[in-house]
Chain A
C-alpha cells in the first residue's frame, strides 16, 4: 500500500537552530500538508501546499516556518530559529483529487528543542 515517508524520525536541536523536516508524499498525490501534535494534545493543521504554493496556513505557521517542494518527490518543512514550544511531533500528509479530503499521514518526525 502506498505510504508517506518522513525523515528524520527524531531530531534533537538547540533553541535558535534551523531544522528541516523531510517528507516523501504518495507519488500521484497533488496536495501536501504539515500538521503538528504537541505531546498529549490534538493534531493541529499548519499548512497546505498545492501547485507549488501555499494554499492555506494556520496562525501557528508564522514567519519562522516555510515549506518547499525542491524536486518532484520531496516536501520539506523548515523552522528557521527553533523555540522550546516548537517541540512536537510533526506529521506530513498528502491527498489526491481536489476536494477528496482523504489524507494519508506519515509516521511523523519528533522534534525536541532544548
Chain B
C-alpha cells in the first residue's frame, strides 16, 4: 500500500522567512496530494492540494510543487507569519479511492 514520508519533523523560522516541507510517496498510482494544517486542539484543515496532472499550484503565500517522476511533493510558505505556526501534514491518495494516507507531520514554529 501507499506510504508517505515527510521531512522535517520540526521547522523553526524567523517571521518573514520562507518554509519548505517535503514529502515522498511510494505508490505511483497516487494522483491527489493535499496539505493540511492542524492547530492545537483542532482538526486538520485543508490549505492547498494538487493533482497529478499539474506540476505546481499557488494560493497567495502558499505553493505546492509535484514531481511525479521522483514521487515527491513539497509545500512552500513564503513571508511566514506567527499565525502560520501549526503542524502541517501532507497526504496522498489514488483517484476514486476513499482514503488519504498521511505523512508524519511537521511542526512549524514562526518566531516574531
Which residues of chain B from 3 to 20 have any CB-CB distance to chain A below 8 Å in the complex? none
- Report whether B43 and A103 are in contact in the complex, using a CB–CB cutoff of 8 Å: no
Determine whether A12 belongs to the interface, using a CB cutoff of 8 Å to chain B: no
Give the residues in chain A near B49, CB-CB below 8 Å.
101-102
Question: Considering the chains assembled together, what is the distance between the CA atoms of A50 and B53 in angstroms?
Answer: 27
Count of CB-CB pairs between chains A and B under 8 Å: 58
What's the interface size class on B, roughly? 20 to 34
Query: Residue B104 contacts which of A35, A41, A102, A105 (CB distance < 8 angstroms)?
Result: A41
- Report whether A45 and B89 are in contact in the complex, using a CB–CB cutoff of 8 Å: no
Query: Residue B100 contacts which of A4, A103, A107, A108 (CB distance < 8 angstroms)?
Result: A103
Seen from chain B, the residues whose Cβ lies within 8 Å of a Cβ on chain A are: 32, 34, 36, 41-46, 49, 89, 91, 93, 95-105
What's the interface size class on A, roughly? 20 to 34
13 pairs from A and B in contact (CB 8 Å cutoff): A42-B89, A42-B105, A43-B100, A44-B102, A45-B99, A45-B100, A48-B99, A56-B97, A56-B99, A101-B95, A102-B46, A105-B45, A107-B43
